[in-house]
């Protein structure tokens, strides 16, 4: 992947301290959409943007107490969910068709 190719990432974190949590939350909220309490979808980051974000996040956490995970997503991704869709109806972030597919659709 070149530094200019963009892709989607799933970002999840578990931060032990409330002050550090607020800082991490603010940083991640600037680059990604919240889909659960501490789970975010970054729909389109270049390698350079990802590296810059990781550097900023590392500066905010305690290596022994906090955990941040960043998972690259396949293109295009399909996300199966159970419960309310975190995005407005019919809206997808990474592709033309809706990104979110209810788990019930798998059972039908």
Looking up residue 13, the CATH number of its domain turns out to be 3.30.70.240
Query: For residue 76, what pLDDT band results from cuts at 50, 70 and 90?
Result: confident
> What pTM, to 2 d.p., does this model score?
0.76
Query: Is residue 89's pLDDT more than 90?
Result: no
d(CA 39, CA 41): 7
Length of the chain measured in residues: 108
Q: What is the pLDDT of residues 25-53, one digit of tens each?
A: 999 999 998 888 899 988 888 899 999 99
Is 14 within any annotated ligand binding site? yes
Number of independent structural domains in the chain: 2
**Does 10 share its domain with 60?**
yes
For residue 47, the enclosing domain spans: 1-75
**Does 60 share its domain with 18?**
yes
Query: For residue 20, what pLDDT band results from cuts at 50, 70 and 90?
Result: very high
Query: For residue 62, what pLDDT band results from cuts at 50, 70 and 90?
Result: very high
Contact between 23 and 62 under an 8 Å Cβ cutoff? The reply is: no
């Amino acid at each position: 992947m070149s530094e200019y190719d963009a892709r989607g990432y799933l970002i999840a974190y578990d931060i032990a301290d409330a002050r550090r949590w607020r800082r991490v939350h603010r940083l991640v909220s600037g680059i990604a959409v919240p889909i659960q309490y501490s789970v975010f979808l970054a729909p389109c980051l270049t390698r350079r943007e990802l590296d810059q974000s990781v550097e900023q996040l590392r500066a905010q956490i305690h290596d022994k107490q906090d955990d941040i995970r960043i998972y690259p997503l396949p293109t295009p991704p399909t996300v199966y969910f159970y419960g309310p869709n975190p995005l407005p109806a019919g809206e997808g972030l990474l592709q033309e068709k809706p990104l979110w597919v209810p788990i019930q659709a798998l059972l039908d």
